Amino acid sequence: MELTNEMMILLLIPVISAFVGWSTNFLAVKMMFYPIEFVGIKPIFGWQGLIPAKRKQMAEIATELVLDKLLSVEEIASRLEPAKITEAIETRLQQVIKKVVNEVMQQSAATLWAALPGPGKDLVYKRIECDIPNVVTKMVEGFQHNVSEILNIRDLVVNHLVAHPELINEIFLKSGEKEFPFIEKSGFYFGFLFGIPTMIVWYFYQLWWILPVGGLIVGYATNWIAIKIIFEPKHPINFMGFKIQGMFLKRQKEVSRVYSDIIEKKLLNAENITNAILYGAGSDRLLELMELHVNDAFESYVAIAQPYFALGVGTENYYEMKRLSAKLLFENSDKYLPYAHEYATSALRVADDLCEKMEGLTPEEFEGVLRPAYQQDEWKLILTGAILGMGAGFLQLYFIV
């Protein structure tokens, strides 16, 4: 049987519908993530990826999930062992302390310090260095007891994700690394299937609007079905020996591991936590804590000769020395705390803890990891697919007619 031009055109309709389904779904996925920043003329003429555009809301949702339901900052902080932190930072801290002592003495008691011979200065350094483990232990315990005042995890997460929109893209793309390619590929298969009824209708009624309407339906339906298959049904359903469940929800254990590892490595790592402690809203509370323990240490160093020492430097200078010592130790903390990052990361165990608790979420709760922040804008993706599909139908009509 020889294929006529009319038959070839007819048979091409499902193939073109398949291409329309794939291309609209492919574009829908890309539009979720790119461009990272708005391109065009604000506020209407242009586009920004749905997820980067809503990164603040998504960061708040992620924070609510991680903090309110899964992670306890107090519990995590309690895992830090003062002895191991001391071991990690001691060498570098000794260097910083020597520099701080010199600067404090030169500013507050220059004559007294200049008159002190080298061996005497070495005894001062040695006395302070010997007390480092004790001071560090008190500092760590003080931090653990006041961690909620010093470390604001909510601000850390939100501010970091807002400043790094590419990171929130990475979290979603890696968590849904199987779902998003499925959305793209499924558009081809569903598009082909939807193209068959369009082909049949066109065979009997060659009306100009059939192909555009068919394209609109393909573009709309392929996007809508793909999203539904990812998240529905929430709970497993047994059907003819097969277990049916939303693709994303079915991979809860796998996604939990991926999500948790990214959160630990890129977000709640020791470096980011340290920066939040030193430069966040709770830094003043940390400085107060440091002043308290430095003052205690200072008093113990000069306890025997304190009256004479205070007379030698003056009462006002004496208290200024204590304040300045704490201030300089705080300002130079970025020179010794990074040496504890490796230990802190292994001790905090954020990823393992988060993964274990994510695996225990209900399907409804777990869906909240990926979907809610952009769910209200899913209609934009579906509508865009419908419009593009209709456009492809008009283009197909142009070539046929």
Residue 253 has pLDDT above 50, yes or no: yes
Band the pLDDT of 305: cuts 50, 70, 90.
Answer: very low
Residue 351 has pLDDT above 50, yes or no: yes
**45-103 pLDDT, tens digit each:** 888 888 888 888 878 877 777 766 778 888 888 888 989 998 899 889 888 888 888 88
Residue 307 has pLDDT above 60, yes or no: no
Q: What is the mean pLDDT of the chain?
A: 82
**What's the pLDDT at 84?**
92
What domain count does the chain have?
Answer: 1
Domain carrying residue 151: 5-400
3-class SS letters over the chain? CCCCHHHHHHHHHHHHHHHHHHHHHHHHHHHHHCCCCCEEECCCEEECCHHHHCHHHHHHHHHHHHHHHHCCHHHHHCCCCHHHHHHHHHHHHHHHHHHHHHHHHHHHCHHHHHHCCHHHHHHHHHHHHHCHHHHHHHHHHHHHHCHHHHCCHHHHHHHHHHHCHHHHHHHHHHHCCCHHHHHHHHHHHHHHHHHHHHHHHHHHCCCCCHHHHHHHHHHHHHHHHHHHHHHCCCCCEEECCEEECCHHHHCHHHHHHHHHHHHHHHHCCHHHHHHHHHHCCCHHHHHHHHHHHHHHHHHHHCCCCHHHHHHHHCHHHHHHHHHHHHHHHHHCHHHCHHHHHHHHHHHHCHHHHHHHHHHCCCHHHHHCCCCHHHHCCHHHHHHHHHHHHHHHHHHHHHHHC
Residue 387 has pLDDT above 80, yes or no: yes
